[in-house]
Amino acid sequence: MRTLKLTIAYDGTRFVGWQRQAEGVSIQGLLEEALARFEGAPVTVHGAGRTDAGVHALGQVASVQLACLHHADVLARGANACLPPDVRVIRVEDAAPGFHARFSARSKTYRYLLRNAPGVSPFERAYVWHVPEPLDLDAIRSAAAALVGAHDFSAFRSSGGATKDPHRTVTCSRLVERSQEAGAGGGALVHDQGGPLLAYEISANGFLRHMVRAIVGTLVEIGRGRRPAASMGALVAGASRAQAGATAPPHGLVLVGVDYD
């Protein structure tokens, strides 16, 4: 058996998420069906992150063990021929024995897009959270910076996750303004919205269930003036989920990439 590393991009709008479900179409299920055609038998694909329904990916990573001897480039082209156009295998590589997309990962990076403008273009509405009221960006940046380091993120985890340890180490947490042309989808068609396209970017050694969306929801409440920026420090000191902000909608979230040794 050989171990393969796949890098995948997808528009998560119409899917139930990464993980295979009893009902609905998943990214994992589609990949397994595509690769099974080469293997001639069922296969199991493991993803680095279990993105939720509606969440997108630019650099999701998956691992799979196959017996077939097709070249990696042939497998990539063949898989894409079997996949719908909103799921693409960007690259297939032979990996070292024992490589696992999830357990071998050292860091993941997510990006959350917000359109802070009176209106939102129909060409980007599936990729940004539209927040029409003014936001205090300095307060958001101050609160975001407080997340860097090793903390207890219990306040930002939803129930139902399999991971018990709430401690994570964040290496990057920042808010940046992106150029109008940087919107996901639409390109030049989204250039005149009357307000900035904001990107919250976070990298960590792991993430809890709905962690990024809960952080973004809390940051937006801080930007709206509903809670002070200084409150973020107390939230990452073991506060409960009820003390943090609401969970942001899924469609603004993108898994940007996964890092390995």
Q: Give the per-residue pLDDT at 218.
A: 98
Specify the number of domains making up the chain. 2
Q: Give the per-residue pLDDT at 183.
A: 46
The residue from 11, 52, 259, 261 that is catalytic is 52
59 with 182, same domain: the answer is: no
Give the Cα separation of 229 and 143 in Å (integer): 5
Assigned domain for 119 exists: yes
The residues with which 17 forms a beta bridge, in sequence order, are 52
3-state secondary structure 6-18: EEEEECCCCCCEC
Angle between helix axes 211-223 and 137-145 (nearest 10 degrees) is 140
Residue 125 lies in domain: 106-260
Assigned domain for 221 exists: yes
Q: Give the per-residue pLDDT at 176.
A: 95
Give the Cα separation of 45 and 38 in Å (integer): 14
Active site residue 52: yes
40 with 124, same domain: the answer is: no
Distances (CA, A) of 12 to 56, 142, 163, 200: 5, 31, 23, 19
138 with 239, same domain: the answer is: yes
Q: Give the per-residue pLDDT at 261.
A: 87
Apex 64 CA angle, 59 and 65, nearest 5: 155
What is the domain-level CATH number for residue 148? 3.30.70.660
pLDDT tens, the chain, 261 aa long: 999 999 999 999 999 999 999 999 999 999 999 999 999 999 999 999 999 999 999 999 999 999 999 999 999 999 999 999 999 999 999 999 999 999 999 999 999 999 999 999 999 999 999 999 999 999 999 999 999 999 999 999 988 666 789 999 999 999 999 865 444 444 444 455 668 899 999 999 999 999 999 999 999 999 999 999 999 999 999 899 999 999 999 999 999 999 998
pTM above 0.85, yes or no: yes
Helix, strand, coil percentages (3-state) for the chain, rounded to 5, are 25, 30, 45
65 with 186, same domain: the answer is: no
Assigned domain for 101 exists: no
What is the domain-level CATH number for residue 65? 3.30.70.580
91 with 25, same domain: the answer is: yes
Give the residue carrying structure tokens 């209106």. 119
Tell me which residue of 159, 171, 155 sits closest to 215, measured CA to CA: 155
225 with 121, same domain: the answer is: yes
212 with 255, same domain: the answer is: yes
Assigned domain for 100 exists: no
